[in-house]
A = this chain, B = another copy of it.
Amino acid sequence: MQLVTIDDISAAADRIRGWVVRTPLIPAPWGDPERPLWLKPENLQAVGAFKVRGAFNAIARLDEATRARGVVAYSSGNHAQAVAYAAARFGISAAIVMPEETPGVKIAATRSHGAEVMLCAAGEREKIADEVVARTGGVLIPPFDHPDVIAGQGTVGLEIAEDLPDVANVIVPVSGGGLASGVGTAIKALAPGAEVIGVEPELAADTAEGLAAGHRVDWSIEDRNRTIADGLRSQPSALTFAHLQKVLDTLITVSENDIRSAVREIALSAHLVSEPSGATALAAYRSRDTPPGPTVLVVSGGNVEPALLAEILAP
């Protein structure tokens, strides 16, 4: 299987420059002294998540005639917004298939970029997206199972290595695995001494189980939907799993309470709004003994329902 390379990621970085925010590393002096802490605030991207990186890279790579037919995506939220936003910037149409249980804030945001949104039952979204592709001739931009998407997300890792060459640990959430695959590939190439640590909710820990078993395992949608980290309910594809087997040094699972505490801590100490998925790296940092040394947490997104954030912040 052909894996994404650092050259693919460097090319993606050149391609998406000007479209996405080059997020800074924010020093967090409230971390442990032995594990000095930086945050990579991908919640500051235009759509509130790292997903714009892969979406812009994948759409930019299409030839003009193909791109003009528009793009299609299925997503639980942030990838939907990212494709809708990138399509609007390219002046092309976007049709987005979203599961019914998607938080309302993410549906509204996707529509606000001019995309057509189709809601569907859980588990149906890939089938319906395929039907839209057949009907419109548009190009499917998958949420993670594509080299161009993985390379785009990998620019997060490239920037971390550029800004903090002596990074010792990078902690990154794992769902479908596009972000962790890309970040891990970049870090292993540019900062080979660093550990790449994945993090999953205990309630959606299929990848932790799969890595231990040496092959992908399938958790039911119903099981994975139990976590409040609604961005971490997907499972790796064969492509992303192969990357994760190669680039992850370890994978930590975190409880729902750990995740809630991390959302609160990021809001009050870092002054960043993170969605539950986006706070899991801090939950891992706080709940386990990650190794000493300069540590970067990827805060992957910030699209949280206001009511949930209010509940978490209330004393």
Contact = CB atoms under 8 A, between A and B. Distances in A.
Contacts of A22: 24
B43 A271 contact: yes
Contact of A26 (B21, B264, B268): B21
A267 to B, nearest CB: 5
A30 B41 CA distance: 18
Interface string A82-93: 000100000000
Contacts of A211: none
Given A21-B26, A24-B21, A26-B21, A271 B44 contact: yes
A11 interface: no
Contact of A302 (B271, B303, B307, B309): B271
A24 B27 contact: no
Interface residues of A, number: 34
Nearest to A266: B273
B48 A27 contact: no
Contacts of A30: 112
Best-surrounded residue of A23, A26, A271, A310 (most CB of chain B within 10 A): A271
Given A21-B26, A272-B273, A273-B271, A306 B302 contact: no
A315 interface: yes
Contact of A309 (B21, B85, B267, B303): B267
A297 B309 CA distance: 24
A41 B302 CA distance: 15
A3 interface: no
Contacts of A272: 44, 271-273
A85 B30 CA distance: 11
Most buried by B among A21, A272, A303: A272
Given A271-B302, A306-B315, A29 B46 contact: yes
A265 to B, nearest CB: 11
A85 B302 CA distance: 28
Contact of A273 (B85, B105, B273, B303): B273
Nearest to A309: B313
A152 to B, nearest CB: 18
A65 interface: no
Interface in A238-264: 264
Nearest to A301: B271
Given A30-B112, A264-B306, A307-B313, 16 more contacts: A23-B24, A24-B24, A27-B46, A41-B44, A43-B271, A44-B270, A267-B306, A267-B309, A268-B306, A271-B273, A271-B274, A273-B273, A306-B315, A307-B315, A310-B311, A310-B313
11 contacts: A21-B26, A29-B85, A44-B270, A105-B268, A268-B273, A268-B306, A271-B272, A273-B273, A307-B314, A309-B313, A310-B310
